[in-house]
A = this chain, B = another copy of it.
Amino acid sequence: MSRTEVPPGTAKAVRVAAGDLVRVVDVEGGQVGDVFAFTDGGTELAEHHSAAHTRAGVDKLFPAVGESFVTDRRRPILTLVGDTSPGEHDMLIPACDPARYAALGAPGHRSCAANLREALDEAGLTFTGPTPQPINVFMRVPIGAGGRFSWLTASSRPGDAVTLRAEQDCVVVVSACPQDLVPISDAGLSPLAIETVRNGGTRS
């Protein structure tokens, strides 16, 4: 097992092989994470996880344990194999980005969109497309009457984790969301951790 710490408000990229497990851990609890996944196609990434294609594939808003996230080419990339959190996650909302913080009166604020590029760059990877819509783990955006959203604070507890199995060789980026102007994460930003297990643990 290999563990990568994701300091508060930043992101890290890991490369995993088909069959490996990727666990996103909410170390202190109450912290939203933005998860991105790309098919490992060398240093120039193209095919990526697509929220819209995943929704159509599982015929619901978010995969259940045992169901897969798919790419923009509808190929399985990650399967949700475990979840020790209360199980509320979001796949409706885009990554926070410079435009979001400018509108909130905080230009130059760190963002998950910029974190993604920074983490890829640090890993020697590039992706030239628009920021893909992330898997927002531990983020609570329930839908009410008239399709209206509520933005609630993450209810994940210290050590809660989502476990994903890689269905292909891929690059997974996890951003510990720097959003501290809207209370989607608990008071104060906190770290996340990415744990990877080779071949589901059978040959680790």
Contact = CB atoms under 8 A, between A and B. Distances in A.
B130 A56 contact: no
A144 to B, nearest CB: 9
How many copies of the polypeptide does the oligomer hold? 2
A42 B73 CA distance: 28
A50 interface: yes
Contacts of A99: 73-75
A148 interface: yes
Interface in A40-65: 48, 50-53, 55-56, 59-62
A72 interface: yes
A52 to B, nearest CB: 4
Of A130, A143, A149, most B-chain CB atoms within 10 Å: A130
A93 interface: yes
A66 interface: no
A55 B146 contact: no
Contacts of A50: 94, 130
Nearest to A131: B72
A16 to B, nearest CB: 22
A70 to B, nearest CB: 9
Interface of A: 48, 50-53, 55-56, 59-62, 72-75, 92-94, 97, 99-100, 103, 129-131, 133, 143, 146-149
Given A52-B93, A55-B92, A74-B97, 11 more contacts: A55-B149, A56-B92, A56-B100, A59-B148, A60-B147, A60-B149, A73-B99, A74-B100, A74-B103, A129-B129, A129-B130
